[in-house]
Structure 1
Amino acid sequence: MTVGILMEKPSAARNGQAAWGGASGTFNGEQFVIAHARGHLYEFTAPHRMVDPALATKYRTWDLANLPWDLDDFSWALEPVKDTASVRDDMKAKLAACGEIAIATDNDPGTFEGDAIAIRAIIELGLDKPGVKFSRLFFTDESPASLQQAFVNRTPIRSLVDYPPFRTACYRASFDFASQQWSRIATNMARTSGKDIVPRQGRLKSAMVKLVGDQLKAHNDYVRKPYWTNRFRDENGVMYTNPEEPRFDRKSQVPQQYTASPVVPDSTTIKQTPPPRLLDLAALSSMLVGQGVKAKFVLETYQKMYEYTTPWAGSGPASGGVLSYPRTEDKTITPEQFSELAPLIDRIAAVVGVEVKHLTHRTARKTHVRPQGVHGANRPGPNVPPSLDAVEQKFGKTGRLIYETLGRNYLAMIAGDYVYEQQKGHVGKYPAFTGTANVPRSAGWKAVFDPDAGDDPAEKAARDSDDLGGSNGKGLGTRAEPFVFEGANKRPEHPSMKWLMKQLEKRDVGTGATRTSTYSEVTSTGTKYPLLVEKGRKLALAEAGEMSWLLLPGTHIGDLALTEKVYADMCDIAMGTATAEERLAIVADWVREDIAVMQKNAASMRATLGLKEQAVSGRVDGVWQTAPGGPKQVAFRKAWSGHEFTADECDRLLAGQTISFQATNKAGKPFTATGALAVGEFKGRKYVGFQPQVSDAPVAWCGRTFNQDEVDALIAGQQLALDGFVSAKTGNAFSCRVGWDAKTKKIVPDFGVDQPPLSWSGRKFSDGERAKLARGEALALTGFVSRRTGRTYDATVRWKEEKGAKKIVPSFG
């Protein structure tokens, strides 16, 4: 019997080959073959494709009347992830004949993502055939010894679908899928407020918006409240305070009751601080965003550096990538991983510019090296580059910054503790006033790595000002002088990526990798509706984010405790004390309640943003079969020009068919519209929607119908100076030169001509008058008509340039 070992990704399969002696063969007396996935190979299909066809329209459209969903209607069908066909085919070919399939994907405590990746692929590929055994490998890391032991001690799995980790992972995935309903609610609230945007909601996205919005409000609403009180300061700058000393609203109220006094030392203590912990993706990205690197590029570049296993020029064979696995949840490394890099420490130090003399702690620290873990915290890989310049040449400036930051962070663990002498003392005459000075004795890891690199200087200065002692290098002085100190309530910090990631970690919302990828998505300038905006190091709410934040108060999806509830449910499901169906049943009630809350919040949101309530049609959600580039999930408006599409018309549009129907133009007149689904553009933004068929020749534009001679001239490529056009926005008549773009089948106006217009303010110019205006002459003319009152008036007009453009400029009297 052959044991098929299923691993999560190509790099893991390479480590497996090193552990078990090849891609296939014999280990511990058993035949084996290694196959691998590439992360998730399957995902849920669209909601309307999971239900009975009779219910498809209900689940396709975004109307509030169709919410909440009945999750019992869903088949929870899966479909392949795009561009994974070759991986799936290779996996099936290698595992189809195996008598046992051993799951060796990542062991993700809490989320069990690795189990879901493997078991879904096994079931969807039909590999769960009768007679096939299944087992699970649990390994500390992907070192040979750990993988070998895991293979020998693998745990049997009686039933894939009943395997507790798989049930748990499926529950979380189903909950997150069901959370799409909140995006539909928020989108409806936005559209009834005149904004055609999609404020995406979800456990992590909503948490990010809520935290940033609340902190921004606290920061912007800050009112400085100064106070004055008595303090002492010595000649070394050490401040002496008395917590019982009264505070006053005005400086003039502070009594001048103290005099200078000698400082009396109380104690001297040697203290030390260990190195900061190893970085995860969120912490790394937070440091680099302050240096102008977007989270998106950190993710993309890190992945390339992890996958780069080609030896550098002049180097020996490479046993791994330039960096460790990026999407790890570990905060520490294992003893095996520590040992792997131990011989490379001096080389890494030379690359990142750290003097070897600082690297005095060559043994594993218990705070950083523990036997638990899989991939280990983010760190340099065994493929050490020759220099940072070589890294930059291969991976750009972002790659250089990533390697230098991770390298220094890792080396800080090899450096000694930061050691300082803490001196405490008091003012001799007034013992209640005490002060502290911290005198550095050994820089230790601080000579290697600065955890505050990339922080906002103003925020860093504000934090440092809170330390009344501080590091002054001199210690306590000998004489303290009284002075009136001005203080104030501290302003809440402006939200930044670093601040946000700390808040999410404190509340245990998401993993470091998930926080970073989601943050990259919600701040991406390439996203159609970003929720957050990066302004240097600082964060603000984008338009969709501000609307989302104003809709969230009092909702379940806006409650940061929601993730705690989901994780508690996952634990119960894993233990067998609850089922996913039981815990998902509450979602419908939450959606129903949040619709009511968001509708109330929408009213105050409109008042805050100066918006008006509007009646809007629903949206259609489905797969556009003839989309450019292949079938694509799209959403488009259910109505066009006064006509609401029927369910049959929606299906035909998604199938790529052309339809005809009666519509109403802006003037209220009926007409027959014929067209199909297509990509349109409005104010520079592309969208999918119904697009009417257009004529192959110019017929009319802006209220003016072209005669046959004008049509022929336009088709021939001529530009015509014409009048009689009417602005649809203002109703004003105007003239301009127009041409015909045969490719887009559109009239192209040209308002930037150097000739006077054919008419102005309701009066046509003769050819002679236009010639004189073109020469710069001023003409006293009659018969102009006021657009506002409709009355005729006289004026002297001139054709001249104003504010960079030529125009008719009138003067009176």
Structure 2
Amino acid sequence: MVNLFILCEKNTQQANPFAKALLGRVNRNSDGFYEGTWRGNNVIIGYLGGHLYEQFQPGDYSSSWSAREAKPQDLVKAQPLIPNEWKIKEKKGKVGKQTIHELLMKVKKWGNQAQEIYLATDPDREGTLLGQEVLRELGLMDKVTKRVYVNDMAESQIRKSFEQAQEIENDYLLYQAGLERQRVDWLGGIASFALIKSENMLKGRKQKGTGSIGRVKSGVAIFIHQVNERIDNWDENAPENNKYGIVMKTSDGLILKSERQAPREAQAESWVKKHEQTTLAMVETKDSLRQVNAPMFFQLSDIQAWAKQNKIQKNIMPFLNNLALKGYITYPRTAINVISKSFRDENLVPNAENVKGLLKLNIELPNKTTFDKPWINNTKVKNAGHTANVYGDNVPTEAALQGLEPEEQQLYRIISLRTLGPMMPKGVDKVRQYLSQIDDMPFKASCSAIDKKGWRAITELIKSQKRESGETVFLDGGLKEITFEVERIKRHPPVRITRANLPKLMEKYGLGTPATQENIIKEMIEYKQIKFNGKYFEVTEVGKMLVFNQPLYTFESTKELGKMLLDIQGLGESDQPIPSGTAVNLLASEIKKWKEELLPKLPENMSFFDAYEQKEKVSMSTPKGKEIKFNQEFFGHKFSKEECEQLLAGKEITFKGNNGKPVVGSLKRQKYKGKSFWGFMPNWDKEKYGKARGI
């Protein structure tokens, strides 16, 4: 008898370490799920592999919604495409060597046998959605009693998370917000194909990517375009980019600056002229000690930004996964629902001495176990863990560390240093403030020096060196000879968007999540919507269509939608959660306005796919003499005569697609919408899903 079935999101990243932490060993049954005993219960730990269901395509609801069957005018008239009942369907493909259908049947089998089910997918909106959609579609939701929020893959933290499992009802709002996100993106993306495609075709644009629209991609394109426009048109002499202050210089070397500035240079010069006879001023001093906090623990987006700044060109996610699976670091992957008011981990301090020795640091031992704030980014989150990446409870030996990839060694070192910093005493600076006043104009200056290094003994965490207090001369106050001059204070233009800062900026403005941002950027480059010119990102002509040819997603509306999803989740600014459907209805009203503006412009003879359906077909005979016609091009590659002969002989061929990756496949008889035809078919087992076997 199975007492408990635990469903998590991934195999090697979750199910395997969960089994080690809870069951004490890794023992897999005939279905590949993990089995053992926990707290006297017979337990099966199963896994998914990301989203195993997908939204219906518009054409699945009705042929009148199909972009290939309906006329553009009719499809635009039907907007917004809101189904009477939203539906999802099982995805095609594989997770490892098994098909998605086979995996789902295993989940259903063990879920039906279990007395109760714990949901232990990622503790964020998407993890909740993909877990609950499987359980609901398989009719298992009534058996789910607990939600487990595992934020940290250290074994001790896994056990703690399961011991503190929450009631499944706590997940309701998170699930509703996930559904809303999914439906908003479908409605404004896939379902709005006809609108954006029509807009672009009216402007003579038909190539790949011109029918692609999405909340996040549009936001990224608009953001990059706006930043580049501001910089390219920056006028450093424009009044709004300048203000003018007054500098007071003393005969013994002090430089005090006015606390107020004037918008025009003439105003500041007038003040100086008025006070040119003032040659003496009293300068007061105030001494104090200032505490200096260590840098915060790393979050995923911080690590990604750090890696780019330190010239790590490779995708760091596999490195982080490997370090986490070995227990060398903790690796929470989410940033939405895993924030706490304070972070306490009793495993950090006992391991600090070993980590310190491994990294060959000469520092004062940590003296803290509780770290208040500054990791809060939403005080409404309850029963959550932390978002920090810190060193794990398995400290590697020096030989094991040296055996890692160079990038993994770099990542382990900086994550460990950023863990030790907040545990150490705070830094303390001596500060002297200088204050003076001429008529109604206050002036001030300050000078500081290190009194106690504290965490700054870890020099790699310091951006710039500061002098020790014994090396700094603090001038005295008193009556001093003075002169005035006008200081022009220039406003700086925004920084260009680069590979290093784009993920962090996307997180700041709610564009994607740390786990999806790299793929979004990669896909936009492949679709030729943005390009990197060697120094910074630019929006291409195709990308500008997202900027100018669609009214659904402005930069501001994208941020507003993100806030609305938080409000549905109960974590936004509203006092009470807002009803699900609010964001969908708002977007639908905008789509309706767009439709009404677009319809009068559409010509009767417009067709979306003529340019794509007239591909060159080759007619050749098989070795047995049968004549076959098939498209001679696939994924940007035109088959050579030799390749065509191999295909006709029933052999597999390999070539590079237009994304530079190898494609393996053969000629197959296929069927679409009741029509049979011959065409090239990739071998997904070898090409697309080969890398997924470790999920």
Give 1:301 shift. 2.9
Instruction: Supply the AA of the counterpart residue of 2:352.
Output: I
8 Å CA contact 1:437–1:476 kept in 2: the answer is: no
The corresponding residue for 2:654 is none
Report how many residues are paired: 595
User: How far apart, CA to CA, are the structure 1 residues paired with 2:447 and 2:287?
Assistant: 10
Q: Are 1:298 and 2:312 an aligned pair?
A: no
Out of 513, 516, 532, the residue aligned to residue 515 of structure 2 is 513
Instruction: Supply the AA of the counterpart residue of 1:355.
Output: N
User: How far apart, CA to CA, are the structure 1 residues paired with 2:579 and 2:318?
Assistant: 39
8 Å CA contact 1:618–1:638 kept in 2: the answer is: no
The corresponding residue for 1:44 is 55
The corresponding residue for 1:210 is 222
8 Å CA contact 1:234–1:476 kept in 2: the answer is: no
Out of 93, 109, 120, the residue aligned to residue 104 of structure 1 is 120
The corresponding residue for 2:669 is none
The corresponding residue for 1:669 is none
8 Å CA contact 1:281–1:378 kept in 2: the answer is: yes
Q: Are 1:533 and 2:540 an aligned pair?
A: no
Out of 422, 427, 436, the residue aligned to residue 413 of structure 1 is 422
CA shift in 2, pair 1:553/1:365, >3 Å: same
Q: Which has the larger radius of gyration?
A: 1
Out of 662, 679, 688, the residue aligned to residue 633 of structure 2 is 679
Q: Are 1:276 and 2:295 an aligned pair?
A: yes
Secondary structure at the aligned position of 2:448 is classed as strand
Out of 48, 70, 84, the residue aligned to residue 95 of structure 2 is 84
User: How far apart, CA to CA, are the structure 1 residues paired with 2:371 and 2:571?
Assistant: 35
Secondary structure at the aligned position of 1:365 is classed as strand
Q: Deviations over 1:48-76 (max 9, x none)?
A: 2x224x43644677946513242216762
Q: Are 1:594 and 2:594 an aligned pair?
A: yes
Give 1:490 shift. 0.4
Instruction: Supply the AA of the counterpart residue of 1:297.
Output: N
8 Å CA contact 2:291–2:428 kept in 1: the answer is: yes
8 Å CA contact 2:339–2:385 kept in 1: the answer is: no
Out of 117, 124, 130, the residue aligned to residue 117 of structure 1 is 130
Q: Deviations over 1:287-343 (max 9, x none)?
A: 22223335x612343233333x2xxxxxxxxxx255524445577679897222322
Secondary structure at the aligned position of 2:50 is classed as coil
Give 1:272 shift. 0.9
CA shift in 2, pair 1:229/1:133, >3 Å: closer
- The equivalences for 1:295-444 within 5 A come to 297-307=315-325, 309=326, 320-327=327-334, 329=336, 338-352=345-359, 354-357=361-364, 359-367=365-373, 372-374=383-385, 376-386=387-397, 394-396=404-406, 398-427=407-436, 432-444=442-454
User: How far apart, CA to CA, are the structure 1 residues paired with 2:339 and 2:253?
Assistant: 39
Secondary structure at the aligned position of 1:99 is classed as strand
Secondary structure at the aligned position of 2:367 is classed as coil
CA shift in 2, pair 1:229/1:404, >3 Å: same
User: How far apart, CA to CA, are the structure 2 residues paired with 1:299 and 1:599?
Assistant: 45
The corresponding residue for 1:267 is 286
Deviates more, 1:95-104 or 1:443-452: 443-452
User: How far apart, CA to CA, are the structure 2 residues paired with 1:394 and 1:197?
Assistant: 41
Q: Are 1:248 and 2:265 an aligned pair?
A: yes
Give 1:150 shift. 6.6
Deviates more, 1:148-157 or 1:557-566: 148-157
8 Å CA contact 1:47–1:74 kept in 2: the answer is: no
| Structure possessing the higher relative contact order (Cα contacts under 8 Å, 6 or more residues apart) | 2
8 Å CA contact 1:288–1:401 kept in 2: the answer is: no
The corresponding residue for 1:220 is 232
Structure 1 vs Structure 2: percent identity of aligned residues?
15
Secondary structure at the aligned position of 1:413 is classed as helix
Unaligned runs of 5+ in 2: 26-33, 377-381, 621-627, 646-695
The corresponding residue for 2:4 is 3
Give 1:380 shift. 2.6
Give 1:39 shift. 3.0
Instruction: Supply the AA of the counterpart residue of 2:355.
Output: I
Q: Deviations over 1:747-799 (max 9, x none)?
A: xxxxxxxxxxxxxxxxxxxxxxxxxxxxxxxxxxxxxxxxxxxxxxxxxxxxx
The corresponding residue for 1:545 is 543
CA shift in 2, pair 1:284/1:153, >3 Å: closer
8 Å CA contact 2:248–2:443 kept in 1: the answer is: yes
User: How far apart, CA to CA, are the structure 2 residues paired with 1:89 and 1:532?
Assistant: 43
Secondary structure at the aligned position of 2:393 is classed as coil
The corresponding residue for 2:147 is 137
8 Å CA contact 1:341–1:382 kept in 2: the answer is: yes
User: How far apart, CA to CA, are the structure 2 residues paired with 1:292 and 1:597?
Assistant: 47
CA shift in 2, pair 1:151/1:88, >3 Å: same
Secondary structure at the aligned position of 2:320 is classed as helix
Give 1:18 shift. 2.0
Out of 615, 619, 636, the residue aligned to residue 608 of structure 2 is 619
User: How far apart, CA to CA, are the structure 1 residues paired with 2:586 and 2:435?
Assistant: 61
Give 1:427 shift. 5.0
Secondary structure at the aligned position of 2:395 is classed as coil
**TM-score normalised over the length of structure 1:** 0.61
User: How far apart, CA to CA, are the structure 2 residues paired with 1:472 and 1:592?
Assistant: 69
Give 1:82 shift. 3.5
Instruction: Supply the AA of the counterpart residue of 1:205.
Output: K
The corresponding residue for 1:671 is none
Q: Deviations over 1:392-438 (max 9, x none)?
A: 76334x33433233222222212222322221123588884322223
- The equivalences for 1:658-677 within 5 A come to 676-677=630-631
Give 1:9 shift. 2.7
- The equivalences for 1:167-206 within 5 A come to 167-180=176-189, 181-182=191-192, 185-195=195-205, 196-198=207-209, 200-206=212-218
8 Å CA contact 1:8–1:36 kept in 2: the answer is: yes
User: How far apart, CA to CA, are the structure 2 residues paired with 1:290 and 1:259?
Assistant: 49
Instruction: Supply the AA of the counterpart residue of 1:550.
Output: F
User: How far apart, CA to CA, are the structure 1 residues paired with 2:305 and 2:294?
Assistant: 19
8 Å CA contact 1:202–1:557 kept in 2: the answer is: no
Secondary structure at the aligned position of 1:216 is classed as helix
Give 1:376 shift. 4.1
User: How far apart, CA to CA, are the structure 1 residues paired with 2:404 and 2:352?
Assistant: 22
8 Å CA contact 1:232–1:481 kept in 2: the answer is: yes
Secondary structure at the aligned position of 2:372 is classed as coil
The corresponding residue for 1:702 is none
CA shift in 2, pair 1:482/1:156, >3 Å: closer
User: How far apart, CA to CA, are the structure 1 residues paired with 2:230 and 2:22?
Assistant: 54
CA shift in 2, pair 1:151/1:441, >3 Å: closer
Give 1:364 shift. 2.1
8 Å CA contact 1:425–1:476 kept in 2: the answer is: no
8 Å CA contact 1:328–1:378 kept in 2: the answer is: no
CA shift in 2, pair 1:305/1:577, >3 Å: closer
User: How far apart, CA to CA, are the structure 2 residues paired with 1:155 and 1:373?
Assistant: 10
Give 1:372 shift. 4.6
User: How far apart, CA to CA, are the structure 2 residues paired with 1:106 and 1:211?
Assistant: 29
CA shift in 2, pair 1:228/1:576, >3 Å: closer
